[in-house]
Structure 1
Amino acid sequence: MRVRDAVVVVTGASSGIGRAAALEFAGKGASVVVAARRPEALRELVRECEAAGGRALAVPTDVADAHQVNNLARLAAERFGRIDVWVNAAAVSVFAPFEEIPLDDFRRVLDVNVMGCVHGARAALRYLRDQGRGVLVNVSSVVGAVPQPYTAPYGMSKFAVRALGVSLRQELRLAKARGVRVCTVLPATIDTPFFAHAANYTERRAVAMPPVYSPERVARAIVGLVRVPRREVVVGPVGRVLLLQAKFWPGLTEKLTAFQVDRSHLSRQQDADPTHGNLHEPAPGTGEVHGGWHGGRRTAVRRVATGALVLTGAALAVARGRR
């Protein structure tokens, strides 16, 4: 599908991957409908999208509310005449041991991350199926294949998003709706405000676990799926290595992931107060793409981490072959 002149709806567009995707589409000449809970962030994003060369419309939306998502789809179609692409990028998270996560927060993560994708997919597919063509992109995570400690609801939600994509592809195939494509994106650690916005009850700051990749990299992958749809795309070499390790050595991958998350995904000191983050109220401000996790050593850290994972996999393969 041509990206230029396409009509694209992006949820979770106030910051991070969603905002980067909206700007990437606008820069390619698409008409972009941006949705999130922060009106001021959306207004600023509309200005940025128009400056990049696209047309844009802001629709404040809480994706956990099906009526608001249906209204988002209706307004997009009324303004631009159709919907060609829908990107479900809205997501929230909480850091805490499983038994210490408030149940209201647990449910909220699932409502936004899972039901938000359900609401978006149902709203989008009405238009895409009627047209006989279009692309639905769901943003999952590498955590949707390799879960980690202290973020149980987030991991559950990203597994569910991945499963939703598989189920929808099967149903569309059975319905012979071959012009409608469903794609899932699984990013590794991305430099966004996500970690600062998350609820947190660990008393330790959430830190982007290296290696950290740019949100623009994910945005380019999403735009690429519109041009050439694929079932699933992992963004970030370390993500691909992790999925491979989890497939062949699941037990060892669980142990290594638990150690790595405890060591580098949370600060070493107890230096953070408990917070609901942006679960129930949106973060203040006009929004941003990046989270400030890229330091001067990012390339070196990325190479070291990638090399360590590859060497671990190779060593495991050799050890297995000697058994």
Structure 2
Amino acid sequence: MSLTVVITGASAGIGRATARLYGRRGANVVLVARGEGGLAAAADEVAALGGRPLVQPADVADPAQTDAVAEAAEKEFGPIDVWINCAFASVFAPFDEITPEEYRRITEVAYLGFVNGTRSALARMLPRDRGTIVQVGSALGERSIPLQSAYCGAKHAINGFTSSLRTELLHRGSHVHVTVAQMPAVNTPQFGWVRSRLSQHPMPVPPIYQPEVAARGVAYAADHPRRKQYYVGATTVATIWANRFAPALLDRYLARTGFDSQQTDSVPPTGQDNLFEPVDHGPADDRGAHGAFDDSAHGRSWEETLVRHPAVTALGAGAAVLGMVGAVRRLTSSSA
């Protein structure tokens, strides 16, 4: 019997790469996003790779729409086995340049969208006592950076919400699982259509990974959901642990480097943003999984080892933390 997987944010980036991965597995893939162009192209790819797609245009900020997605998925394919929350929205700007309406919208998509999707999935999984929910998180959910206060806040909230839910499921003795796949910087189209008030084009903080690296981490978390969270990419491990060992040093380091490292003059601004409305209205607007940084993005990482072997993760984290903390100390000392 084919696996049935729901993926929010499936029209581009990590969600799109994850949809392709499950297509190769021959899964039933329910594709959820607002953009019609990306959804249609994703469905074609899933079908060509051997999966069965179901397109469900929806705004995850609306709980009624996520519930309608779940209803349609089970009507078409039967019980949902895996629900992956991956929808994204953000504004690149200092906090005092983000409006209350923008902040609300980001929170409704990047945090409450995950809550809504989780609720819709649990309503069907709990009575059956089986199923898995994967939250696509971020290293920024534990170590915030400048210019992304709303997104960082949402990712922190996802971690807190998911930890609370996990304890409730354990209390019930439920066989429904929930886990978080924490992501590094990824080369996705979001940097070309995110709302930005920066002087230059926004970019992920290097080192940058390709969406396929992230998708493999998401799928592995779904296949092995008993762990609380998975770190995808060595930089995610280093960032999270360095923040626990030397948060004040990282504050100073990011204050000095975090603005310039998130902007590039090598890519022209698009002048488009998808905060309130999608920008991919038809086939010509499809952005695919990759963003504008293919030349500098890594197609593989320690992730293939890290997510599978906790002992190696600990050793790798220790080495990476020592290296990062040393580098931060040298920079802050020289800049003082």
TM over 0.5: yes
1:25-80 Cα distance to aligned partner (Å, 9 max, x none): 11112110000001232122111101111111000000011111110000000001
How far, CA to CA, are the matches of 1:10 and 1:84 in structure 2?
11
- State the alpha-carbon separation in 2 of the partners of residues 206 and 91 from structure 1: 15
SS of 1:140 mapped into structure 2: strand
| Counterpart among 20, 24, 27 of residue 27 in structure 1 | 24
Query: Residues of 1 paired with 2:259 and 2:183: CA distance?
Result: 20
CA contact (8 A) 2:181 2:232 kept: yes
Note the 1:51-130 alignment, pairs <5 A: 51-130=48-127
Q: Is the 8 A contact 2:5 2:28 kept in 1?
A: yes
Superposed CA RMSD in Å reads 2.5
CA contact (8 A) 1:8 1:83 kept: yes
CA distance in 2, matches of 1:316, 1:21: 34
Aligned counterpart, 1:198: 194
Would you say the 8 A contact 1:33–1:59 is kept in 2?
yes
Q: Does 1:13 align with 2:10?
A: yes
* Structure 2 counterpart of 1:293: 293
Whether the 8 Å CA contact 2:15–2:86 is kept in 1: the answer is: yes
Aligned residues: 308
Between the aligned residues of both structures, percent identity stands at 33
How far residue 199 of structure 1 moved from its aligned partner, in angstroms, is 0.7
- C-alpha displacement of 1:106: 1.0
2:325 to 284, 288, 313: 313
2:333 matched to which residue of 1? none
Distance 1:298 1:69 in 2: 33
SS class of match (1:279): coil
Instruction: Determine the C-alpha separation between the residues in 2 that align with 1:310 and 1:216.
Output: 28
Are the equivalent residues in 1 in contact too, given 2:238–2:324 (CA < 8 A)? Answer: no
Asked if structure 1 preserves the Cα contact closer than 8 Å seen for 2:30 and 2:55, the reply is yes
Counterpart-to-counterpart distance in 1, 2:324 and 2:196: 31
Read off the aligned partner of 2:274 and give its amino acid letter: N
Out of 207, 215, 230, the position equivalent to 2:211 is: 215
SS in 2 for 1:185: strand
Which secondary structure state, in structure 2, belongs to the residue aligned with residue 223 of structure 1?
Answer: helix
Structure 1 unaligned residues grouped into runs of 5+? 318-323
With normalisation by structure 1, the TM-score equals 0.89
Q: Name the SS of the counterpart of 1:153 in structure 2.
A: helix
Deviation, 1:308, is 8.7
Q: Pick from 156, 180, 184: which aligns with 1:184?
A: 180
Distance 2:57 2:168 in 1: 31
Instruction: Point out 4+ residue stretches in structure 1 off by more than 2 angstroms.
Output: 257-260, 306-317
Question: 8 Å contact 1:238–1:309 — kept in the other structure?
Answer: no
In the alignment, is residue 41 of structure 1 matched against residue 38 of structure 2? yes
Amino acid at match of 1:151: Q
Equivalents in 2 of 1:219, 1:249: separation in Å? 30
Matched, 1:150 2:162: no
Aligned-partner Cα distance in 2 for 1:164–1:214: 28
Counterpart-to-counterpart distance in 2, 1:219 and 1:206? 22
| Pairwise CA distance, 1:10 | 0.2
Secondary structure of 1:254's aligned partner? helix
Equivalents in 2 of 1:267, 1:78: separation in Å? Answer: 46
* CA apart distance, 1:131: 1.4
Question: Matched residues in 1 for 2:204 and 2:72: separation?
Answer: 36
Q: Cα 1:48–1:112, aligned 2, differ >3 Å: closer, same or farther?
A: same
Distance 1:292 1:169, change over 3 A: same
1:224 lines up with 2:220 in the alignment? yes
Report the secondary structure of 2:111's partner residue: helix
Query: For residue 290 of structure 1, what is the amino acid of its counterpart?
Result: H
- Quick one: which amino acid aligns to residue 40 of structure 2? R
Query: Structure 2-normalised TM-score?
Result: 0.86
Q: Structure 2 regions of 5+ residues with no counterpart?
A: 303-316, 330-336
Structure 2 Cα separation of the partners of residues 37 and 315 of structure 1: 42
SS of the residue corresponding to residue 263 of structure 2 reads: coil
